[in-house]
């Protein structure tokens, strides 16, 4: 019995010993853990981040992050671009941070700065030794760097493609685009009219520039500062611009109906007709009931290809008369059945006309020229009222250099048209001396049969 009591007392002491030991160990662990927790809390990198977040205002973050913005081309302002991104991202969102575990270890801690769900930058902390030494190998953290989010990771990128005439430097956001951005030194101008697309002549040589990626506002201008609008919407991330050539061309062509007119091999159609009228037969409706023929005026401007004009009638190539305003004037070619009488009528009228206009006192000259004009026409009225003015005109001598009659064309049985072209030197005698000048001119003529069957001038109009 006594032995059993001794054994029981020994087991109790054993249990008490181990219980006390375990309590002591637990106490020591708690003390160590508590101390570690205090050290850990004091040396957490988040503590440095919390202090930084409390210290810096929204404007502080904008300025600090914008100062490190980069990764864009020389045609964009990275700071301004980031400021816009920051303002649009932060507006209405709270700033927060999150540790980037994949890049954090005992040598550095990286935090990502967020505005809502959008990344706007990252903060890098490094451990450092302080006067107060911490146990467990823990150290405090100091700010190493604040860098902005890489814009290329956050903004949509576009590539800008600019076609400009050879020798013309385009500007992108106010900066001249260098030749290193040329991707094709010879491309065709695509912005051509329907007529020009039918030309057999090449358009002006264009140079294609390509710049990208771009992330912000895009402004393309020519060397004079004129802003160029984009061609449509972006396609496959490419936004196109075309700086049009400043040199443009135009043409004016006058030709009778039935004459085919071509510009660089492309036949002109109704789209190019600006007027259609019987200009040569104006005032002759009483004498020519069946009418004359229409004269068409073709006119186009704003061309980027210099037009080469030609015309033909029934397969016969025509030679133009160049009017005073630079227009090409075409007529029907000589008909095969033109009589000698028609030639004599045109030549006789013009000889009497020149004689009358060069001798101011010769009343006989006026009668001679009126005898070759159809009575009652506007042409007859003009000459009948011209004599008084001719009396006061200077006496003029003419030295004829060239005289051509051509383009004789029948209009029915009682009418024909023709042209008269001449070059001459004139000397006008006036009270204060003589005035010499050269003149090159021409006329469009309409002749009708008179009552006695002779050919008489009905209209006379100078080439404009």
Q: How high is the pLDDT of residue 391?
A: 46
CA distances from 171 to 18, 102, 175, 224, 326 (A): 87, 43, 5, 10, 37
Taking the CA atoms of the chain, what radius of gyration do you get in angstroms? 49
d(CA 319, CA 332): 10
Task: Output the CA angle 240-244-249, nearest 5 degrees.
Answer: 150
Q: How high is the pLDDT of residue 173?
A: 93
Which of 89, 99, 87 has its CA nearest to residue 63? 87
Which of 173, 157, 185, 163 has its CA nearest to residue 241? 163
DSSP conformational letter for 52: H
Instruction: Kindly report, residue by residue over 106-158, the tens digit of the pLDDT.
Output: 888 999 999 888 888 899 998 877 645 544 445 678 888 998 888 777 778 89
Which of 248, 225, 374 has its CA nearest to residue 301? 248
Which of 189, 187, 168, 188 has its CA nearest to residue 179? 168
Q: How high is the pLDDT of residue 355?
A: 82
Q: Calculate mean pLDDT across residues 262-284.
A: 93
Q: How high is the pLDDT of residue 458?
A: 96
Instruction: Kindly report, residue by residue over 297-329, the tens digit of the pLDDT.
Output: 999 999 999 999 999 999 999 999 888 788 899
State if pTM tops 0.85.
no
- Dihedral (C-alpha) 451, 452, 453, 456: value to the nearest 10 degrees? -70
Q: How high is the pLDDT of residue 307?
A: 95
Report whether pLDDT(34) > 60: no
Structure tokens at 304: 């980027």
Lowest-pLDDT range of 16-30, 100-114, 261-275, 340-354: 16-30
Residue with more model confidence, 181 or 101: 181
d(CA 445, CA 376): 16
Q: How high is the pLDDT of residue 217?
A: 87
What is the pLDDT confidence band of residue 179, given thresholds at 50, 70 and 90? very high
Structure tokens at 446: 């309409």
Q: Under a CB-based contact definition with an 8 Å cutoff, are residues 323 and 464 in contact?
A: yes
Q: Calculate mean pLDDT across residues 191-202.
A: 93
Helix (H, G, I), strand (E, B), or coil: what is residue 452?
coil
Q: How high is the pLDDT of residue 402?
A: 82
Q: How high is the pLDDT of residue 137?
A: 47
Q: Calculate mean pLDDT across residues 23-48.
A: 60
Report whether pLDDT(105) > 80: yes
What is the pLDDT confidence band of residue 431, given thresholds at 50, 70 and 90? very low
| Most confident listed range (67-81, 91-105, 192-206) | 192-206
Tell me the percentage of the chain whose pLDDT exceeds 90. 47
Structure tokens at 376: 């009652």
Residue with more model confidence, 91 or 137: 91
Q: Calculate mean pLDDT across residues 191-201.
A: 93
Lowest-pLDDT range of 56-70, 159-173, 263-277: 56-70
Average pLDDT, the chain: 84
Report whether pLDDT(28) > 90: no
DSSP 407-427: EEEE-SSSEEEEEEEEEEEEE
What is the pLDDT confidence band of residue 399, given thresholds at 50, 70 and 90? low
Instruction: Kindly report, residue by residue over 154-173, the tens digit of the pLDDT.
Output: 778 899 999 999 999 999 99
Q: How high is the pLDDT of residue 223?
A: 94
Tell me the percentage of the chain whose pLDDT exceeds 70. 81
Q: Is the dihedral of CA 271, 275, 280, 286 positive or negative?
A: positive
Report whether pLDDT(436) > 90: no
DSSP 56-110: --HHHHHHHHHTT---S-TTS-HHHHHHHHHHHHHTT--EEEEE-GGG-BTTBEE
Q: How high is the pLDDT of residue 390?
A: 55
Alpha helices in 140-242 (DSSP H): 151-154
Q: Is the dihedral of CA 384, 386, 392, 398 positive or negative?
A: negative
Q: How high is the pLDDT of residue 365?
A: 83
Q: Which residue has the tokens 């600090």?
A: 64
Q: Calculate mean pLDDT across residues 432-460.
A: 82
Q: How high is the pLDDT of residue 331?
A: 95
Mode of pairing for the β-strands spanning 140-148 and 158-165: unpaired
Report whether pLDDT(393) > 70: no
What is the pLDDT confidence band of residue 176, given thresholds at 50, 70 and 90? very high
Residue with more model confidence, 10 or 135: 10
């Amino acid at each position: 019995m006594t032995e059993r009591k001794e054994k029981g007392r020994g087991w109790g002491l054993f249990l008490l010993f181990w219980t006390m030991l375990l309590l002591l160990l637990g106490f020591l662990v708690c003390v160590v853990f508590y101390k570690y927790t205090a050290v850990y809390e004091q040396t957490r990198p988040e503590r440095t981040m919390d202090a930084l977040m409390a210290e810096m205002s929204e404007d502080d973050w904008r300025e600090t992050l914008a100062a490190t913005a980069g990764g864009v081309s020389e045609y964009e302002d990275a700071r301004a671009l980031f400021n816009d991104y920051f303002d649009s991202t932060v507006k209405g969102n709270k700033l927060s941070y999150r540790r980037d575990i994949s890049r954090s270890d005992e040598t550095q801690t990286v935090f990502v700065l967020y505005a809502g769900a959008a990344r706007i930058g990252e903060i890098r902390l490094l451990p450092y030794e302080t006067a107060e030494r911490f146990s467990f190998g823990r150290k405090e953290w100091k700010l190493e760097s604040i860098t902005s989010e890489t814009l290329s990771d956050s903004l949509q990128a576009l590539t800008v493609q600019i076609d400009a005439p050879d020798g013309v430097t385009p500007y992108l956001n106010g900066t001249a685009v260098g030749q290193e951005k040329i991707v094709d030194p010879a491309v065709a101008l695509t912005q051509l009219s329907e007529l020009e697309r039918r030309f057999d002549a090449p358009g002006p040589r264009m140079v294609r520039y390509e710049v990208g990626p771009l992330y912000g506002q895009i402004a393309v201008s020519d060397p004079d500062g004129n802003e160029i609008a984009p061609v449509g919407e972006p396609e496959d991330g490419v936004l196109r611009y075309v700086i049009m050539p400043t040199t443009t061309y135009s043409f004016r062509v006058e030709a009778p109906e039935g004459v085919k007119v071509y510009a660089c091999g492309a036949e002109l159609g109704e789209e190019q007709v600006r007027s259609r009228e019987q200009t040569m037969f104006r005032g002759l409706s009483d004498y020519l009931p069946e009418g004359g023929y229409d004269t068409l005026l073709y006119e186009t401007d704003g061309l980027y290809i210099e037009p080469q004009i030609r015309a033909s009638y029934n397969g016969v190539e025509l030679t133009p008369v160049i009017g005073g305003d630079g227009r090409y004037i075409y007529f029907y070619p000589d008909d095969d059945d033109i009589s000698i009488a028609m030639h004599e009528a045109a030549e006789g009228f013009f000889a009497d006309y020149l004689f009358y206009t060069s001798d101011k006192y010769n009343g006989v000259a006026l009668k001679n020229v009126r005898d070759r004009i159809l009575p009652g026409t506007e042409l007859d009225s003009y000459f009948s009222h011209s004599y008084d003015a001719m009396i006061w005109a200077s006496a003029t001598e003419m030295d004829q250099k060239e005289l051509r009659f051509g383009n004789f064309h029948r209009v029915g049985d009682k009418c024909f048209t023709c042209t008269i072209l001449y070059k001459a030197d004139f000397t006008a005698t006036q009270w204060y001396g003589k005035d010499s000048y050269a003149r090159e001119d021409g006329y469009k003529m309409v002749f009708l049969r008179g009552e006695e069957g002779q050919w008489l001038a009905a209209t006379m109009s100078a080439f404009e």
